Chains A and B, each alone.
Chain A
Amino acid sequence: MRLKAAFLVCLLAGLAITISAVAQEGHPLTGVWYGDYGTTAAQRSHLTIEMAWDGKAVTGIINPGPDSIPIKVATLDTSKWAFHLEADGKDEKGQAAHFVADGKLENVGSYNRTITGTWNYGTTKANFKLRRD
Protein backbone atom coordinates (compact mmCIF):
# COMPACT_ATOMS: atom_id res chain seq x y z
CA MET A 1 0.00 0.00 0.00
CA ARG A 2 2.82 2.33 1.00
CA LEU A 3 4.70 1.41 -2.14
CA LYS A 4 1.66 2.19 -4.26
CA ALA A 5 1.29 5.59 -2.65
CA ALA A 6 4.97 6.36 -3.15
CA PHE A 7 4.72 5.29 -6.77
CA LEU A 8 1.75 7.59 -7.32
CA VAL A 9 3.43 10.55 -5.66
CA CYS A 10 6.60 10.05 -7.72
CA LEU A 11 4.60 9.65 -10.92
CA LEU A 12 2.73 12.89 -10.30
CA ALA A 13 5.91 14.71 -9.32
CA GLY A 14 7.66 13.51 -12.45
CA LEU A 15 4.79 14.55 -14.66
CA ALA A 16 4.59 17.95 -12.99
CA ILE A 17 8.29 18.52 -13.59
CA THR A 18 8.01 17.46 -17.20
CA ILE A 19 4.95 19.55 -17.95
CA SER A 20 6.35 22.64 -16.27
CA ALA A 21 9.51 22.20 -18.32
CA VAL A 22 7.54 22.84 -21.51
CA ALA A 23 5.73 25.99 -20.36
CA GLN A 24 8.25 28.73 -20.96
CA GLU A 25 6.96 31.47 -23.25
CA GLY A 26 3.85 32.78 -21.51
CA HIS A 27 3.82 35.25 -18.64
CA PRO A 28 7.45 35.91 -17.73
CA LEU A 29 6.98 34.99 -14.07
CA THR A 30 5.27 31.68 -14.72
CA GLY A 31 7.36 28.69 -13.74
CA VAL A 32 9.54 27.31 -11.01
CA TRP A 33 12.38 29.51 -9.80
CA TYR A 34 15.36 28.25 -7.84
CA GLY A 35 17.98 30.22 -5.97
CA ASP A 36 18.89 31.47 -2.55
CA TYR A 37 18.76 34.43 -0.22
CA GLY A 38 20.98 35.66 2.57
CA THR A 39 22.68 38.59 4.19
CA THR A 40 26.16 37.69 2.95
CA ALA A 41 27.67 35.65 0.15
CA ALA A 42 28.57 32.94 2.65
CA GLN A 43 25.27 32.82 4.53
CA ARG A 44 22.69 31.61 2.06
CA SER A 45 19.39 29.78 2.44
CA HIS A 46 17.79 27.83 -0.35
CA LEU A 47 14.82 29.47 -2.03
CA THR A 48 12.30 27.95 -4.42
CA ILE A 49 9.36 29.95 -5.74
CA GLU A 50 6.64 28.53 -7.90
CA MET A 51 4.52 31.09 -9.73
CA ALA A 52 1.65 31.02 -12.19
CA TRP A 53 -0.36 33.67 -14.05
CA ASP A 54 -4.13 33.17 -13.87
CA GLY A 55 -4.91 35.91 -16.36
CA LYS A 56 -5.29 38.63 -13.75
CA ALA A 57 -2.74 38.02 -11.02
CA VAL A 58 0.36 36.05 -10.19
CA THR A 59 -0.21 33.31 -7.66
CA GLY A 60 2.15 30.80 -6.13
CA ILE A 61 4.07 29.49 -3.17
CA ILE A 62 7.51 29.84 -1.65
CA ASN A 63 9.48 26.69 -0.85
CA PRO A 64 6.85 24.09 -1.80
CA GLY A 65 6.59 21.38 0.82
CA PRO A 66 5.50 21.08 4.46
CA ASP A 67 6.73 24.59 5.31
CA SER A 68 5.57 26.29 2.16
CA ILE A 69 4.50 29.91 2.28
CA PRO A 70 1.70 31.14 0.05
CA ILE A 71 2.49 34.26 -1.94
CA LYS A 72 0.34 37.15 -0.85
CA VAL A 73 1.28 39.57 -3.61
CA ALA A 74 3.49 39.12 -6.64
CA THR A 75 3.66 41.70 -9.39
CA LEU A 76 5.76 42.52 -12.39
CA ASP A 77 6.12 46.11 -13.55
CA THR A 78 6.89 45.45 -17.18
CA SER A 79 8.02 49.01 -17.84
CA LYS A 80 11.13 48.25 -15.77
CA TRP A 81 10.78 44.46 -15.48
CA ALA A 82 10.58 45.12 -11.75
CA PHE A 83 9.45 42.23 -9.56
CA HIS A 84 7.72 42.68 -6.22
CA LEU A 85 6.64 39.94 -3.83
CA GLU A 86 5.08 39.83 -0.39
CA ALA A 87 4.32 36.84 1.78
CA ASP A 88 3.60 36.03 5.39
CA GLY A 89 5.38 33.04 6.89
CA LYS A 90 8.03 32.01 9.37
CA ASP A 91 11.71 32.83 9.37
CA GLU A 92 14.56 30.40 10.12
CA LYS A 93 13.84 30.68 13.84
CA GLY A 94 10.19 29.86 13.43
CA GLN A 95 9.11 33.43 14.14
CA ALA A 96 6.29 35.00 12.16
CA ALA A 97 7.71 37.19 9.43
CA HIS A 98 6.50 39.36 6.61
CA PHE A 99 8.70 38.81 3.58
CA VAL A 100 9.11 41.57 1.02
CA ALA A 101 11.17 41.01 -2.09
CA ASP A 102 11.99 43.53 -4.79
CA GLY A 103 14.09 42.62 -7.76
CA LYS A 104 14.75 42.97 -11.44
CA LEU A 105 13.87 40.41 -14.05
CA GLU A 106 16.72 39.90 -16.49
CA ASN A 107 17.30 37.86 -19.61
CA VAL A 108 13.54 38.06 -20.18
CA GLY A 109 13.58 36.09 -23.41
CA SER A 110 15.56 33.22 -21.99
CA TYR A 111 14.08 30.08 -20.54
CA ASN A 112 16.58 30.50 -17.68
CA ARG A 113 15.73 34.11 -16.96
CA THR A 114 16.80 35.49 -13.61
CA ILE A 115 15.59 37.79 -10.85
CA THR A 116 17.93 39.45 -8.39
CA GLY A 117 17.15 41.94 -5.67
CA THR A 118 16.47 42.50 -2.00
CA TRP A 119 14.78 40.03 0.35
CA ASN A 120 13.71 41.65 3.58
CA TYR A 121 11.81 40.38 6.61
CA GLY A 122 11.64 41.76 10.12
CA THR A 123 14.87 43.59 10.71
CA THR A 124 16.81 41.35 8.34
CA LYS A 125 17.97 42.93 5.10
CA ALA A 126 19.03 40.24 2.69
CA ASN A 127 19.44 39.81 -1.03
CA PHE A 128 18.22 37.06 -3.29
CA LYS A 129 18.98 35.43 -6.63
CA LEU A 130 16.52 33.31 -8.54
CA ARG A 131 16.85 31.47 -11.81
CA ARG A 132 13.92 30.03 -13.69
CA ASP A 133 14.54 26.36 -14.24
Chain B
Amino acid sequence: MSHRVIVVCSAVVLALATVLVAPSFLKAQGQQGQRGQQGQQVQGQGVGQGLPNAQGGRGGGRGGRGNQPDVPSKPTPRWPDGHPRIGAPTPEERGIWGACCGSLSNATTPYQPWAKALYDYRRNNEFEPHTRCKPSGGARQFVTPYGTEIVELPDLQKIFIFDIGGPHTFRTIYMDGKPHPRDLVPSYYGDSRGHWEGDSLVVDNTGFNEGFWMDRAGSPHTEKLHYIEKFTRTDYNTLKYEVTVDDPGAYTGTWSNSFQMRWQAGPELFEYVCQDNNFAPVLLIGNESSIDRSSVIIP
Protein backbone atom coordinates (compact mmCIF):
# COMPACT_ATOMS: atom_id res chain seq x y z
CA MET B 1 0.00 0.00 0.00
CA SER B 2 2.76 2.43 0.99
CA HIS B 3 4.48 1.66 -2.30
CA ARG B 4 1.38 2.77 -4.17
CA VAL B 5 1.24 5.95 -2.10
CA ILE B 6 4.82 6.78 -3.04
CA VAL B 7 4.17 6.08 -6.71
CA VAL B 8 1.04 8.23 -6.81
CA CYS B 9 2.74 11.02 -4.89
CA SER B 10 5.75 11.04 -7.18
CA ALA B 11 3.57 11.01 -10.27
CA VAL B 12 1.54 13.99 -9.09
CA VAL B 13 4.58 16.08 -8.18
CA LEU B 14 6.30 15.20 -11.45
CA ALA B 15 3.21 16.03 -13.47
CA LEU B 16 2.83 19.38 -11.72
CA ALA B 17 6.47 20.21 -12.18
CA THR B 18 6.26 19.35 -15.88
CA VAL B 19 3.12 21.34 -16.53
CA LEU B 20 3.80 24.37 -14.36
CA VAL B 21 7.54 24.78 -13.99
CA ALA B 22 9.04 23.26 -17.11
CA PRO B 23 7.61 25.82 -19.57
CA SER B 24 9.20 28.75 -17.75
CA PHE B 25 12.40 26.78 -17.43
CA LEU B 26 12.51 26.02 -21.12
CA LYS B 27 11.56 29.57 -21.98
CA ALA B 28 14.29 31.04 -19.84
CA GLN B 29 16.83 28.58 -21.19
CA GLY B 30 16.41 30.14 -24.58
CA GLN B 31 17.27 33.60 -23.36
CA GLN B 32 20.82 34.64 -23.94
CA GLY B 33 20.60 38.39 -23.52
CA GLN B 34 18.54 41.22 -24.81
CA ARG B 35 20.68 44.11 -25.74
CA GLY B 36 18.50 45.06 -28.66
CA GLN B 37 15.39 45.14 -26.58
CA GLN B 38 16.90 46.89 -23.62
CA GLY B 39 18.58 49.51 -25.69
CA GLN B 40 15.30 50.39 -27.29
CA GLN B 41 13.66 50.56 -23.89
CA VAL B 42 16.05 53.16 -22.66
CA GLN B 43 15.29 55.27 -25.68
CA GLY B 44 11.59 54.72 -25.38
CA GLN B 45 11.27 55.98 -21.84
CA GLY B 46 10.82 59.47 -23.08
CA VAL B 47 12.00 62.90 -22.19
CA GLY B 48 10.03 63.24 -19.02
CA GLN B 49 10.69 59.97 -17.32
CA GLY B 50 9.29 59.96 -13.85
CA LEU B 51 7.64 63.32 -14.14
CA PRO B 52 3.92 63.78 -13.94
CA ASN B 53 2.40 64.19 -17.38
CA ALA B 54 5.67 63.18 -18.93
CA GLN B 55 5.55 62.50 -22.62
CA GLY B 56 7.08 59.18 -23.37
CA GLY B 57 7.89 57.20 -26.41
CA ARG B 58 10.44 59.24 -28.22
CA GLY B 59 12.58 56.22 -28.89
CA GLY B 60 13.64 55.18 -32.30
CA GLY B 61 12.29 52.47 -34.51
CA ARG B 62 8.67 51.63 -34.35
CA GLY B 63 8.38 53.03 -30.84
CA GLY B 64 9.53 56.47 -31.89
CA ARG B 65 7.70 59.67 -32.54
CA GLY B 66 8.58 59.90 -36.16
CA ASN B 67 4.97 59.64 -37.28
CA GLN B 68 3.60 62.24 -34.98
CA PRO B 69 2.01 65.14 -36.76
CA ASP B 70 2.96 68.73 -36.03
CA VAL B 71 -0.54 69.94 -36.79
CA PRO B 72 -3.15 70.17 -34.03
CA SER B 73 -4.55 66.79 -33.14
CA LYS B 74 -7.87 65.56 -34.44
CA PRO B 75 -10.60 65.07 -31.82
CA THR B 76 -10.93 61.93 -29.75
CA PRO B 77 -12.39 59.11 -31.88
CA ARG B 78 -15.53 57.55 -30.46
CA TRP B 79 -17.63 54.41 -30.66
CA PRO B 80 -21.25 54.72 -31.81
CA ASP B 81 -22.37 54.71 -28.17
CA GLY B 82 -20.20 57.75 -27.49
CA HIS B 83 -17.36 56.14 -25.55
CA PRO B 84 -13.87 57.14 -26.66
CA ARG B 85 -11.99 54.58 -28.71
CA ILE B 86 -8.71 54.03 -26.93
CA GLY B 87 -7.34 51.72 -29.59
CA ALA B 88 -7.37 52.14 -33.35
CA PRO B 89 -9.74 54.97 -34.32
CA THR B 90 -11.34 52.92 -37.11
CA PRO B 91 -10.86 49.36 -38.38
CA GLU B 92 -8.94 50.81 -41.32
CA GLU B 93 -6.56 52.97 -39.29
CA ARG B 94 -3.73 51.14 -37.61
CA GLY B 95 -1.54 52.34 -34.83
CA ILE B 96 -0.02 51.80 -31.42
CA TRP B 97 0.68 53.83 -28.32
CA GLY B 98 4.26 54.85 -27.68
CA ALA B 99 5.94 53.97 -24.41
CA CYS B 100 5.40 55.87 -21.21
CA CYS B 101 5.84 55.54 -17.47
CA GLY B 102 9.58 54.99 -17.00
CA SER B 103 9.40 55.72 -13.29
CA LEU B 104 6.19 55.78 -11.32
CA SER B 105 7.71 56.92 -8.08
CA ASN B 106 9.30 60.21 -7.12
CA ALA B 107 10.62 62.02 -4.06
CA THR B 108 7.22 62.02 -2.38
CA THR B 109 6.47 58.34 -2.82
CA PRO B 110 5.68 56.88 0.62
CA TYR B 111 7.98 53.89 0.61
CA GLN B 112 8.29 51.57 3.53
CA PRO B 113 11.98 51.52 4.50
CA TRP B 114 12.68 48.11 2.96
CA ALA B 115 10.97 49.13 -0.28
CA LYS B 116 13.04 52.32 -0.54
CA ALA B 117 16.22 50.39 0.12
CA LEU B 118 15.31 47.84 -2.51
CA TYR B 119 14.38 50.58 -4.98
CA ASP B 120 17.74 52.27 -4.43
CA TYR B 121 19.51 48.96 -4.85
CA ARG B 122 17.72 48.30 -8.11
CA ARG B 123 18.74 51.69 -9.48
CA ASN B 124 22.31 50.41 -9.43
CA ASN B 125 21.61 46.73 -10.08
CA GLU B 126 19.28 46.30 -13.02
CA PHE B 127 18.45 42.72 -12.39
CA GLU B 128 14.97 43.05 -13.81
CA PRO B 129 12.77 40.08 -14.72
CA HIS B 130 11.49 41.96 -17.79
CA THR B 131 14.94 41.68 -19.34
CA ARG B 132 14.52 37.93 -19.05
CA CYS B 133 11.25 38.03 -20.97
CA LYS B 134 8.99 37.94 -17.92
CA PRO B 135 5.68 39.79 -18.21
CA SER B 136 5.43 42.96 -16.15
CA GLY B 137 2.18 44.23 -14.75
CA GLY B 138 1.13 47.75 -13.96
CA ALA B 139 2.75 50.68 -15.71
CA ARG B 140 5.72 48.53 -16.65
CA GLN B 141 3.58 46.95 -19.35
CA PHE B 142 3.72 50.23 -21.26
CA VAL B 143 7.50 50.45 -21.30
CA THR B 144 8.22 47.95 -24.02
CA PRO B 145 10.50 48.95 -26.86
CA TYR B 146 7.86 49.10 -29.57
CA GLY B 147 4.91 50.48 -27.63
CA THR B 148 1.64 48.75 -26.91
CA GLU B 149 -1.43 47.98 -28.94
CA ILE B 150 -4.86 48.28 -27.37
CA VAL B 151 -7.64 46.23 -28.95
CA GLU B 152 -11.22 46.85 -27.89
CA LEU B 153 -13.85 44.16 -28.43
CA PRO B 154 -17.14 45.62 -27.13
CA ASP B 155 -19.13 42.60 -28.25
CA LEU B 156 -17.01 40.38 -26.02
CA GLN B 157 -16.89 43.00 -23.27
CA LYS B 158 -13.11 42.76 -23.22
CA ILE B 159 -10.17 45.02 -23.94
CA PHE B 160 -6.75 43.57 -24.68
CA ILE B 161 -3.46 45.36 -24.12
CA PHE B 162 -0.64 43.78 -26.09
CA ASP B 163 3.04 44.25 -25.32
CA ILE B 164 4.73 44.33 -28.67
CA GLY B 165 8.31 43.88 -27.51
CA GLY B 166 9.44 42.43 -24.22
CA PRO B 167 7.55 39.30 -23.28
CA HIS B 168 5.18 39.84 -26.23
CA THR B 169 2.13 38.88 -24.27
CA PHE B 170 -1.16 40.53 -23.40
CA ARG B 171 -3.46 41.57 -20.61
CA THR B 172 -7.23 41.21 -20.62
CA ILE B 173 -9.44 43.90 -19.14
CA TYR B 174 -12.88 42.49 -18.43
CA MET B 175 -15.65 44.99 -19.09
CA ASP B 176 -18.61 42.79 -18.13
CA GLY B 177 -19.18 44.45 -14.77
CA LYS B 178 -18.27 41.38 -12.76
CA PRO B 179 -16.08 41.76 -9.66
CA HIS B 180 -12.64 40.24 -9.23
CA PRO B 181 -12.84 36.48 -8.68
CA ARG B 182 -12.27 35.32 -5.13
CA ASP B 183 -9.04 33.51 -4.28
CA LEU B 184 -7.12 34.71 -7.31
CA VAL B 185 -3.90 32.90 -8.03
CA PRO B 186 -1.32 35.71 -8.15
CA SER B 187 -0.12 36.42 -11.68
CA TYR B 188 2.09 38.90 -13.53
CA TYR B 189 -0.79 40.98 -14.90
CA GLY B 190 -3.21 40.31 -12.10
CA ASP B 191 -6.93 40.56 -12.71
CA SER B 192 -8.17 43.67 -14.53
CA ARG B 193 -11.78 44.89 -14.32
CA GLY B 194 -12.73 48.00 -16.25
CA HIS B 195 -15.62 50.40 -16.48
CA TRP B 196 -16.27 53.80 -17.98
CA GLU B 197 -16.46 56.96 -15.90
CA GLY B 198 -17.42 59.63 -18.38
CA ASP B 199 -14.71 59.66 -21.02
CA SER B 200 -12.25 57.74 -18.87
CA LEU B 201 -11.70 54.00 -18.72
CA VAL B 202 -11.06 53.08 -15.09
CA VAL B 203 -9.39 49.74 -14.53
CA ASP B 204 -9.17 48.10 -11.13
CA ASN B 205 -6.33 45.58 -10.85
CA THR B 206 -5.50 43.09 -8.15
CA GLY B 207 -4.09 39.56 -7.83
CA PHE B 208 -0.50 40.39 -8.80
CA ASN B 209 2.43 38.16 -8.07
CA GLU B 210 5.79 39.58 -6.98
CA GLY B 211 7.67 38.36 -10.02
CA PHE B 212 8.12 41.70 -11.75
CA TRP B 213 9.09 45.31 -11.22
CA MET B 214 6.14 47.68 -11.24
CA ASP B 215 8.00 50.21 -13.39
CA ARG B 216 11.25 50.50 -15.30
CA ALA B 217 12.94 52.22 -12.37
CA GLY B 218 12.35 49.30 -10.02
CA SER B 219 9.53 50.36 -7.71
CA PRO B 220 8.86 47.33 -5.49
CA HIS B 221 5.47 45.89 -4.70
CA THR B 222 3.97 42.95 -2.86
CA GLU B 223 1.03 40.64 -3.48
CA LYS B 224 -1.10 43.15 -1.58
CA LEU B 225 -0.87 45.51 -4.54
CA HIS B 226 -4.14 47.13 -5.60
CA TYR B 227 -3.55 49.16 -8.72
CA ILE B 228 -6.07 51.55 -10.24
CA GLU B 229 -5.55 52.89 -13.74
CA LYS B 230 -7.42 55.62 -15.58
CA PHE B 231 -7.08 55.87 -19.36
CA THR B 232 -8.36 59.07 -20.97
CA ARG B 233 -7.91 59.73 -24.67
CA THR B 234 -7.85 63.49 -24.49
CA ASP B 235 -7.52 63.85 -28.26
CA TYR B 236 -6.72 61.68 -31.26
CA ASN B 237 -3.00 61.54 -30.49
CA THR B 238 -2.90 61.54 -26.70
CA LEU B 239 -3.74 58.93 -24.10
CA LYS B 240 -3.51 60.19 -20.55
CA TYR B 241 -2.57 57.42 -18.14
CA GLU B 242 -3.22 58.01 -14.46
CA VAL B 243 -2.37 55.47 -11.82
CA THR B 244 -3.05 55.06 -8.13
CA VAL B 245 -0.93 52.59 -6.21
CA ASP B 246 -2.30 51.04 -3.05
CA ASP B 247 0.09 48.48 -1.57
CA PRO B 248 0.23 48.37 2.23
CA GLY B 249 2.93 45.72 1.94
CA ALA B 250 5.45 48.11 0.41
CA TYR B 251 4.17 51.66 0.98
CA THR B 252 2.88 53.60 3.94
CA GLY B 253 0.07 55.19 1.97
CA THR B 254 -1.67 55.39 -1.37
CA TRP B 255 0.10 57.39 -4.06
CA SER B 256 -0.48 58.45 -7.65
CA ASN B 257 1.21 59.57 -10.81
CA SER B 258 0.23 60.29 -14.39
CA PHE B 259 1.80 60.11 -17.83
CA GLN B 260 0.88 60.52 -21.45
CA MET B 261 1.24 58.13 -24.33
CA ARG B 262 1.41 59.33 -27.93
CA TRP B 263 -0.43 57.74 -30.82
CA GLN B 264 1.85 56.25 -33.47
CA ALA B 265 -0.18 55.97 -36.66
CA GLY B 266 0.73 53.07 -38.88
CA PRO B 267 2.44 50.25 -36.96
CA GLU B 268 0.57 47.41 -35.37
CA LEU B 269 1.41 44.25 -33.50
CA PHE B 270 4.13 42.27 -35.21
CA GLU B 271 5.97 39.06 -34.46
CA TYR B 272 8.54 39.43 -31.73
CA VAL B 273 10.27 36.54 -30.02
CA CYS B 274 11.86 37.68 -26.81
CA GLN B 275 14.23 34.75 -26.55
CA ASP B 276 15.97 35.51 -29.81
CA ASN B 277 18.68 38.01 -30.41
CA ASN B 278 19.54 38.16 -26.77
CA PHE B 279 23.07 39.51 -26.56
CA ALA B 280 23.30 41.20 -23.20
CA PRO B 281 24.39 38.94 -20.37
CA VAL B 282 25.24 42.02 -18.37
CA LEU B 283 21.62 43.06 -18.51
CA LEU B 284 20.60 39.58 -17.53
CA ILE B 285 22.65 39.47 -14.39
CA GLY B 286 23.35 43.15 -13.80
CA ASN B 287 26.57 43.56 -11.93
CA GLU B 288 25.88 40.63 -9.65
CA SER B 289 28.99 38.59 -9.14
CA SER B 290 27.50 35.30 -10.25
CA ILE B 291 24.34 33.57 -11.23
CA ASP B 292 23.61 29.98 -10.43
CA ARG B 293 22.10 28.11 -13.33
CA SER B 294 21.96 24.73 -11.62
CA SER B 295 18.46 25.37 -10.32
CA VAL B 296 15.45 24.43 -12.42
CA ILE B 297 13.96 27.72 -11.28
CA ILE B 298 15.54 30.40 -13.42
CA PRO B 299 16.27 33.57 -11.48
Interface of A toward B, CB cutoff 8 Å: 2-3, 6-7, 9-11, 13-15, 17-19, 21-28, 30, 53-55, 76, 78-79, 81, 107-112, 131, 133
Q: Which interface class (under 10, 10 to 19, 20 to 34, 35 or more) fits B?
A: 35 or more
Contact indicator A110/B8 (Cβ below 8 Å)? no
- Name the B residues within 8 Å of A6 (CB-CB): 5, 8-9
Per-residue contact bits, chain B 24-45, to A (CB 8 Å; 1 contact, 0 not): 0000000000000000000000
Contact indicator A109/B286 (Cβ below 8 Å)? yes
B273 CB-CB contact with A under 8 Å: no
User: Which of B113, B129, B250, B290 meets A78, CB within 8 Å?
Assistant: B113
Contact indicator B185/A19 (Cβ below 8 Å)? yes
Contact indicator A10/B13 (Cβ below 8 Å)? yes
Contact indicator A26/B222 (Cβ below 8 Å)? yes
Contact indicator A2/B291 (Cβ below 8 Å)? no
Smallest CB gap from A4: residue in B:
B8
User: Which of B16, B209, B285, B298 meets A15, CB within 8 Å?
Assistant: B16
Q: For the complex, what is the distance from the CA of A9 to the CA of B223, rounded to whole Å?
A: 25
B17 CB-CB contact with A under 8 Å: yes
Per-residue contact bits, chain B 98-139, to A (CB 8 Å; 1 contact, 0 not): 000000000000000110111001100101010000000000
Contact indicator B295/A19 (Cβ below 8 Å)? no
Contact indicator A10/B8 (Cβ below 8 Å)? yes
- Name the A residues within 8 Å of B127 (CB-CB): 109-110
Stretch of B57-65, B196-204, B210-218 contacting A (4+ beta carbons < 8 Å): B210-218
Contact indicator A3/B292 (Cβ below 8 Å)? no
A-B contact pairs, 22 of them (CB 8 A): A7-B9, A10-B8, A14-B20, A18-B20, A19-B185, A22-B211, A23-B223, A24-B129, A25-B210, A26-B220, A26-B222, A26-B223, A28-B114, A30-B210, A78-B117, A107-B288, A108-B121, A109-B121, A110-B127, A110-B288, A110-B291, A112-B291
Per-residue contact bits, chain B 248-259, to A (CB 8 Å; 1 contact, 0 not): 111000000000
Chain A CB within 10 A, most for which of B116, B118, B298: B118
